Structure 1
């Protein structure tokens, strides 16, 4: 029997041919009538701040780590509000991103300094966006405006497809 080399991945993120799968944790940060989003400069897309979950890491711990890395703030409150399955075209890939979305909070005084901060690379910046403007933007998950209207205690589930 031929031995196969096993490649160990750090993140729950893998690609086969032109298909990509990933597990992501993201956070909803609200301030008045605005939401904090990651703006991807080269595509113009907007994403909830967060990132990939590492193998062996919970989605909650991944989100705490991502916020610490990207905005140097510790989250004081996390509550799961939605799980999405995003099947879409992205760059040259068909993707299947599973995303655990939390409502998050940190110290009130920390919110003022979040504008313009960069995420993991220089192609992404943080922006406060008016919730009323979300329908005019390319956002992922596409259902974001729908579940922002009801951040109740019930976890919501969405499946979005563009293919």
Structure 2
């Protein structure tokens, strides 16, 4: 059971995500039904750690194992849509995957194992050319310090489109 709770006030969820960097590019994901890109991951299951979540998600979405991981951001994400409010806690890890895995050679947009998502490697210098959510991702990627500790990020966003 995913850690997600919805009531009259809105939706609460706990999410974990994998920042995968390769040759000055980052792996991004979007739902097939829209054009907003995000860092691959998913909701944490009850009784599962955030580390276990990213390991499970990478296997489910790409069939790849994580060989190294480092927690870099803890996110408090507050999003207001015209039809819904979301309060999300997120844990973002920089991860390394198996060397030589075919996903590292993919170009353009491509499908993974899990239905409903499109993926693509995006040059770090070209992050402004696509719409990335949550809004904190682009500036934080530009200042990412792998030698430092864990950064606490608070993101508040108002979006002018509805979600279901």
TM bracket (short chain): 0.7 to 0.9
Matched, 1:56 2:47: yes
Change (3 A) 1:12 1:104: same
Task: Give the RMSD, CA atoms, in angstroms.
Answer: 1.9
Q: TM-score, normalised by structure 2?
A: 0.84
Counterpart in 2 of 1:109?
100
Q: TM-score, normalised by structure 1?
A: 0.85
8 A Cα contact 1:119 1:126, kept in partner: no
For the residue of structure 1 that corresponds to 2:86, the secondary structure is strand
8 A Cα contact 2:132 2:138, kept in partner: no
Q: 1:127-162 CA deviation, whole Å, 9 max, x = no partner?
A: 111222222332222111222222323111111112
Q: Which runs of 5+ in 1 are unaligned?
A: 1-9
Counterpart in 2 of 1:127?
120
The one of 144, 147, 154 aligned to 2:149: 154
Change (3 A) 1:125 1:141: same
Change (3 A) 1:49 1:24: same
Matched, 1:29 2:30: no
8 A Cα contact 1:18 1:92, kept in partner: no
The one of 8, 11, 17 aligned to 1:20: 11
Q: 1:97-138 CA deviation, whole Å, 9 max, x = no partner?
A: 11100000012211124851236432x211111222222332
CA distance in 2, matches of 1:132, 1:53: 31
> Which stretch of the first structure deviates more once superposed, 125-134 or 87-96?
87-96
Q: Which runs of 5+ in 2 are unaligned?
A: 159-164
The one of 90, 95, 99 aligned to 1:99: 90
Change (3 A) 1:144 1:157: same
